[in-house]
Amino acid sequence: MLAKIFTHEKPIIGVVHLPALPGSPHDSKDLEEICEFAITDARTLEEGGCDGILIENYFDQPFLEKMAVETVASMTKIACEIKRNVSLPIGISALRNDPFAGLAIAHAIGGEFIRVNVFIGTAMVGTGVIPGCAAELLRYRSKLNCDVQIFADIDVKHATPLVKVPIEREAREAAYRGKADGLIVTSHETGSPPQLETVQRVKNAVFDVPIIIGSGINPENAEEFLEVADGAIVGSSLKKNLASPIDINLVRTLVEAIVSLRRD
């Protein structure tokens, strides 16, 4: 399934963390400034050798469960500008968990995938309870008549499931009943890697569905994790700090660490 989107095996998807968008509690830049910042980060990811880009409204914390209309409008404009300036596949992560907005944005700008934090089950987060959305989201994708792929988190970071089940069961539910196109495995907080054993358990449970590492990948552990997983979403390790621009040298170092694993 990843081959439908990405040119290389074991794709590295770099994250563009958008500055606080208009309407956010931390709104501090105008939209044109945000666009320029985001385009620069996207170009850096492409030049450094990443295989795809995930656009995320990371600095809109604390997140609404459903994105405000001004956030959707701003994110659509920014994503469209990024799409015009790079040739990589584009994904949307609409935080905290608004995959309907994410899917609509991706469809509108010609994006290829979305990230969904809570796809099945129900999770407790700092701002309340988030229910899964698989049934409604797949119907919405059919309504839009689009082929944007759905990459779904399991046991997502910064959340606690209301009912804890073995991760193998959650993976199978998301893949085979929820019909996710790929599964994302993370630790419990930004920047921390999952347990390698956990990744292997998920891979064994759904060997025919792509497994993507969603947190904590860096040049030191990339080879180990990508021997098991099929790709990685990488954000914080490509920066000196989360608020700074992406560092092209950090991107290149990470990409070089996984080139030997590719057979293409």
Tokens linked to 57: 């409204």
What does residue 199 show for φ and ψ, rounded to 5 degrees? -60, -45
Angle of helix 31-48 versus helix 69-85 axis, rounded to 10 = 40
Per-residue pLDDT of the chain in tens (264 residues, 90 and over written 9)? 799 999 999 999 999 999 999 999 987 789 999 999 999 999 999 999 999 999 999 999 999 989 999 999 999 999 999 999 999 999 999 998 999 999 999 999 999 999 999 999 988 787 788 899 999 999 999 999 999 999 999 988 787 887 788 999 999 999 999 999 999 999 887 778 999 999 999 999 999 999 999 999 999 999 999 999 999 999 999 999 988 999 999 999 999 999 888 876
Domains recognised in the chain with CATH numbers: 10-261 (3.20.20.70)
Contact 206, 183 (CB under 8 A): yes
In degrees, rounded to 5, the angle at the alpha carbon of residue 59 between the alpha carbons of residues 252 and 106 is 75
